[in-house]
Amino acid sequence: MSENNFKCNFCKVCNGKGCIGQLPGMGGVRKNENFILNCSAWENVRNNNIERIKQFLDLEPEFRIPQITIAPMTGAVENIGFGQESDFYDAIIQAMHKVGVGLSIGDGYPDEKLKFGIEALQKIKIEAPQAETSVFIKPYSNERIFERFEWAKDCVKIAGVDIDSYNIVTMRNLVKLEKKSAAQLIEIKNHIKIPFAIKGIFTQEDIELVKEVKPDIVYISNHGGRVETRKGSTAEFFASHVDELKNYCDEIWVDGGIRSPRDVATAMALGADCVLVGRPFASALCHGGPQELCGKVLELSLLKYGF
């Protein structure tokens, strides 16, 4: 592995307060405003839905096994501090696969970021063809999105468009990202032959988009607080709209500030089919390598630590 200069501060609790202003880095926009809200809001949501969560936890244990997936992340060199982008994908994808976590990759500039992620998934697919894998492409022109899906089609089971990355102003200007219309997303949905996800659902406008497109998967996210969007947390948006959104898709995914088995249980009890975790997994890998990363996964397991 090449020499690394990790940017994570390895805070005891990853709550957005230790990396304010560090972007590039592990922080977010507006002094980590939404990053901090993401982390703090799950407790409020839990307190407001305690009876529903208790009913969920009364189910037989096999119905409480959490579906955890690593959130799609790129920019490992500039944001995390890896010496090479490819090192990050190989290390984190291999470790996640060994502990049964779903595997997700993201898109970025230059194209090698996506291609390194695809290469890491292809290695997994050789030994485990049934591994749960997904790719999320930035909202380029549809023609360019189709090209990227073609690169990844042999190693992913789910393909999605990361509509919230349109709100990364520098990226939008650099590679000409588009604010996707329902018609464009429907074209993408009809083009691919695998389940289609829309990532970055976080506003009322996004909900209206979901109603028209009816994707297979709705992925609630505000990009970990790293994009310019409205003030708020994914936890509260999820709790307020999950039941409505279930009418227009098959599955609901959510990320943002999930830090404990209680957070995982809260999301699942309210209707999440999958929870996704980003920074804590990347931080554990940087701090202690694959062994610490595996420990972080176990820490989030309901069955190991309970509620």
Task: Note the pLDDT of residue 49.
Answer: 95
Q: Say if residues 101 and 69 touch (Cβ distance below 8 Å).
A: yes
pLDDT(69) > 80? yes
Task: Evaluate the CA torsion angle 299, 62, 70, 123 in order and state its sign.
Answer: positive
pTM: 0.96
89, 95, 97, 100: CA torsion to nearest 10: -140
Q: How sure is the predictor about 62, in pLDDT bands with cuts at 50, 70 and 90? A: low
Task: Note the pLDDT of residue 37.
Answer: 98
With a pLDDT cut of 70, the percent of the chain lying above it is: 95
> Which residue is associated with the tokens 């972007």?
23
The 10s digit of each residue's pLDDT in 96-147 is 999 889 999 999 999 999 999 999 999 999 999 999 999 999 999 999 999 9
- What's at 210, amino acid-wise? V
pLDDT(64) > 70? no
Contacts of 81 (CB under 8 A, 6+ apart): 4, 5, 6, 7, 8, 286
Domains of the chain: 29-305 (3.20.20.70)
Q: Say if residues 39 and 259 touch (Cβ distance below 8 Å).
A: yes
Task: Note the pLDDT of residue 303.
Answer: 55
The 10s digit of each residue's pLDDT in 189-202 is 999 999 999 999 99
pLDDT(293) > 60? yes
**Nearest-10 crossing angle of helices 50-57, 261-269:** 90
The phi-psi region of residue 181 (left if phi > 0; otherwise alpha if psi is between -120 and 50; otherwise beta) is beta
pLDDT(15) > 70? yes
Residue 101's SS3 state is coil
Task: Give the chain's mean pLDDT.
Answer: 93
Q: How sure is the predictor about 58, in pLDDT bands with cuts at 50, 70 and 90? A: confident
pLDDT(60) > 70? no
Q: How sure is the predictor about 299, in pLDDT bands with cuts at 50, 70 and 90? A: confident
- CA distances (Å), origin 198, targets 7, 97, 250: 30, 24, 12
The 10s digit of each residue's pLDDT in 271-283 is 999 999 999 999 9
pLDDT(302) > 60? yes
Contacts of 188 (CB under 8 A, 6+ apart): 142, 145, 146, 161, 196
pLDDT(214) > 70? yes
Task: Note the pLDDT of residue 56.
Answer: 84
pLDDT(305) > 50? no
